[in-house]
Amino acid sequence: MVDRNEWERDRPVLTGSPRRPPPSFVEQANVTDPGIYDEFEENWPECWERAADLLSWDQSYETVLREEDAPFYQWFPDGKLNAAKNCVDRHLESGRKTHTAIRWEGKHGERQTYTYRDLYVAINEFAAALRALGVEEDDVVTIYLPMIPELPIAMLSCARIGAPHNVVFAGLSADALATRMDAADSEYLVTCDGYYRRGDAFNQKSKADNARLKLEQDVSTVVVDRLGDDLPHVLGDDECDYHELRETFAGELVDPVPRDAEDMLFVMYTSGTTGEPKGVVHTTGGYLAHATWTSHAVLDVKPEDTYWCAADIGWITGHSYIVYGPLALGTTTVMYEGTPDYPDRDRLWEIVDRNAVDIFYTAPTAIRAFMKWGSEYPAGYDLSSLRLLGTVGEPISPRPWNWYYEHIGNETCPVVDTWWQTETGAVTVSTLPGVSEMKPGAAGPSLPGMDVRVVDSSGTEVDPGDSGYLTIARPWPGMVRTLYDGDERFRAEYWDQFSDPESDDWHYFSGDAARIDEDGYITVLGRVDDVINVSGRRLSTTEVESAITGVAGVAEAAVVGRSSETNGTDVYAYVSTEGGYDDGTAVREAIIDNIETAIGPIARPTKVQFTPELPKTRSGKIMRRLLEDVANGEELGDTSALRNPEIIGEIQAELDEE
Ligand code: PRX
């Protein structure tokens, strides 16, 4: 059983007053029939045909779900389709070729618009170029690009020729890129010269070059020239310029390759409980059906909308809800390169106003920042085009939820708090905005067709009001199929905890703790494994710790999360150095450098606390929970298992002095 005190600390314990969906929204919503829950229940798994029917199939499927080899489920296994054709070609065929597909807003106010026809031309030409470089079906192409249109173009070009993509967030380090390329056996890389970070030109290519030096395989690289004269670069052997390739293959057409529904569409690396990132494998049919269906049913996307998910395509949210879901529905998806506060804190609202954005989807960390900056920033703009607001990535407590509802949504837009993960592929828990009551602080019930449960450590469902582990008791189309690193790890990470293979009873474990109420609404409380969620981004504490212990003079390290008003959680590091206590600035700097080199600036600790030793159990296990309590100024949990209980007091005294 999860200790409630432990998990409810500083979390959104209470839900705010429920709110009904605004009638003006319900009148036009894609899904309005409350009967949809029963309908999916009574007709499971065939209910998921409703999602698959939003796609165009080259060969229709006969089987919805194949369960024989659980937990290696297969969805629509005998169907064939192509994801790029679904996201682009079919909208041309339906007479919408001049409709805007991507509206790009650059950091310095530059703008670009790609119609579906423009996107079609771009992905055909780049698919032809990739083929000419030697990319064949099933070859993994790594994409290491910031938020520029060439990123979705590269993804869709890969999808067109059946080459799975492996997008690595542009802010990750050279080491992190090399690890992910090595793990995915990837011999192709699409990157750029650099990008603007705030006002400055930042060199991305040098990171890519450093990564390549660490790899054993030869890598053929395409470089997008983003910065021109602001950051001149020279191409080496095995490197091509993106725009020159486009010119070479101008006007070429490449037939979209029909893929088996279960063929891999992409791999996405995410942090797990060990230092090694996990290569989450998503397939073409089930993933695309689930991402498209939830864009329709939860985000209420319509082809005529201007829709904006202000996430980064380098993470799963951007894959599912900037690229695949919205483009499959033929809408206009906004892509924003910059940050919310550059050049000023009104930047997002200026973009919403100027583009008459209908749907806006962001993360609680951003909402908390907006709230802190003050309502005068959005108040200066006309946000009346907005119809629906969404949030994802971390728990959102009632106060920021209500602020978002009032100051951005003007109390006329439903807010969908969507719980899901890289592994679930698409939204799993949320209200349906045209149907369900919203409870600020609770994500909502399982979506129709999903069976999300909160259970105790024996797998028994907890009573309403109690907390436990968040599990999923039935397969779903967008689910992770395996880990690129192997089926064994896949079973160990997600299935071994709550399943009973003997009786063929499979339960997926999310790694989250949650509480459920009497209406089946789920409040997610946070991770229960060694993963911390910083501004909606997953970091493995083990990965950060190994970057710290790589510094000369460091003996041991323990990394925990500390609640933070803006980031949700900050990285907090406890370090003991060789030869006793040392608070040397040099070691601290080396630690931060090493973390930025191994992972990237997102993992930078807000505090490095030196201590002569770390609190340990008699068997030598570091008591991270206690360190987390200290970092958060909480009352300490049980210290009786400690071999060196006095150290906790010493650490606290040290902190009190500061
Ligand atoms: O802890 C949960 C949190 O983010 C984790 C998944 O992270 P990632 O795979 O990077 O995907 C993020 C975007 C889907 C989850 O295990 N999380 C995600 N959405 C919510 C959330 N926690 C609370 N409420 C949410 N709506």
Task: Answer yes or no: is pLDDT of 194 > 70.
Answer: yes
Cβ(284)–Cβ(261) under 8 Å?
yes
User: Where residue 170 falls among pLDDT bands split at 50, 70, 90?
Assistant: very high
Distance 317 CA to ligand 1 centre (A): 10
Judge if the beta carbon of residue 395 lies within 6 A of ligand 1: yes
How far is 312 from 327, CA to CA, in rounded Å? Answer: 16
Judge if the beta carbon of residue 417 lies within 6 A of ligand 1: yes
The whole-number average pLDDT for the span 448-469 is 95
Distance 421 CA to ligand 1 centre (A): 5
User: Where residue 274 falls among pLDDT bands split at 50, 70, 90?
Assistant: low
Distance 397 CA to ligand 1 centre (A): 14
Helices (H), 536-623: 541-549, 585-598
In which residue are the tokens 């569409």 written?
265
- Residues shown for the chain: 658
Distance 424 CA to ligand 1 centre (A): 10
Query: Burial letters for 342-373: b for 16+ Cβ neighbours within 10 Å, e otherwise?
Result: eeebbbbbbbbbebebbbbbbbbbbbbbbbee
At residue 453, the pLDDT reads: 98
Rounded to 5 degrees, φ, ψ at 308 are -135, 115
Tens-place pLDDT, residues 406-446: 999 999 999 999 999 999 999 999 999 999 999 999 999 99
Q: What tokens does 552 get? A: 């000369």
User: Where residue 583 falls among pLDDT bands split at 50, 70, 90?
Assistant: low
Distance 437 CA to ligand 1 centre (A): 21
Distance 117 CA to ligand 1 centre (A): 34
Task: Answer yes or no: is pLDDT of 13 > 60.
Answer: no
Give the CA distances from residue 201 to residues 198, 241, 555, 598, 600, in Å, rounded to whole numbers and listed in that order: 8, 19, 37, 22, 17
Give the CA distances from residue 299 to residues 39, 115, 152, 302, 326, in Å, rounded to whole numbers and listed in that order: 20, 22, 20, 9, 9
At residue 5, the pLDDT reads: 40
* pLDDT > 90 fraction of the chain, expressed in percent and rounded: 77
Judge if the beta carbon of residue 509 lies within 6 A of ligand 1: no
Judge if the beta carbon of residue 419 lies within 6 A of ligand 1: yes
Judge if the beta carbon of residue 443 lies within 6 A of ligand 1: yes
Which run of H or E residues covers position 523? strand 522-527
Tens-place pLDDT, residues 593-602: 999 998 999 8
> Smallest Cα–Cα separation from 196: which of 112, 113, 108, 109?
108
**Domains (range + CATH), the chain:** 112-257 (3.40.50.980), 530-657 (3.30.300.30)
Higher pLDDT pick, 639 / 334: 334
Higher pLDDT pick, 599 / 31: 31
Q: What residue type is assigned to position 546 of the chain?
A: S
Angle at 323 between CA 322 and CA 327, to 5 degrees: 105
Whose alpha carbon is nearest atom 21 of ligand 1?
Answer: 394
Confirm whether pTM is higher than 0.95: no
Edge-first strand order for the sheet with 607-610 is 554-564, 568-577, 607-610
How far is 553 from 576, CA to CA, in rounded Å? Answer: 9
Judge if the beta carbon of residue 431 lies within 6 A of ligand 1: no
Judge if the beta carbon of residue 527 lies within 6 A of ligand 1: yes
Q: Is 288 exposed, middle or buried (0-12, 13-18, 19+ CB in 10 A)?
A: buried
Cβ(418)–Cβ(429) under 8 Å?
yes
How far the first Cα of the chain sits from its last, in Å, is 37
Higher pLDDT pick, 529 / 125: 125
How far is 20 from 200, CA to CA, in rounded Å? Answer: 46
Neighbours of 649 (CB within 10 A): 12
Cβ(266)–Cβ(166) under 8 Å?
yes
Distance 392 CA to ligand 1 centre (A): 7
Cβ(277)–Cβ(269) under 8 Å?
yes
The whole-number average pLDDT for the span 582-610 is 88
How far is 286 from 288, CA to CA, in rounded Å? Answer: 6
How far is 641 from 617, CA to CA, in rounded Å? Answer: 6
At residue 275, the pLDDT reads: 67
Whose alpha carbon is nearest atom 18 of ligand 1?
Answer: 393
| Range in 218-232, 258-272, 569-583 the model is least confident about | 569-583
At residue 2, the pLDDT reads: 42
User: Where residue 582 falls among pLDDT bands split at 50, 70, 90?
Assistant: low
Cβ(419)–Cβ(428) under 8 Å?
yes
The whole-number average pLDDT for the span 386-409 is 94
At residue 10, the pLDDT reads: 40
The whole-number average pLDDT for the span 312-324 is 97
Please identify, by atom number, the ligand 1 atom nearest to the C-alpha of residue 423.
9
Judge if the beta carbon of residue 392 lies within 6 A of ligand 1: yes
Distance 395 CA to ligand 1 centre (A): 8
How far is 579 from 577, CA to CA, in rounded Å? Answer: 6
Judge if the beta carbon of residue 317 lies within 6 A of ligand 1: yes
User: Where residue 121 falls among pLDDT bands split at 50, 70, 90?
Assistant: very high
| Range in 34-48, 193-207, 403-417 the model is least confident about | 193-207
Task: Answer yes or no: is pLDDT of 649 > 50.
Answer: yes
Q: Is 654 exposed, middle or buried (0-12, 13-18, 19+ CB in 10 A)?
A: middle
| Range in 45-54, 186-195, 309-318, 363-372 the model is least confident about | 363-372
Task: Answer yes or no: is pLDDT of 11 > 70.
Answer: no
Higher pLDDT pick, 120 / 9: 120
Judge if the beta carbon of residue 558 lies within 6 A of ligand 1: no
Average pLDDT, the chain: 92
Please identify, by atom number, the ligand 1 atom nearest to the C-alpha of residue 524.
23
Judge if the beta carbon of residue 12 lies within 6 A of ligand 1: no
Please identify, by atom number, the ligand 1 atom nearest to the C-alpha of residue 417.
26
Q: What residue type is assigned to position 149 of the chain?
A: P
Mutation test residue for ligand 1: of 361, 397, 421, 446, the one with most atoms within 8 Å of CB: 421
Whose alpha carbon is nearest atom 8 of ligand 1?
Answer: 421
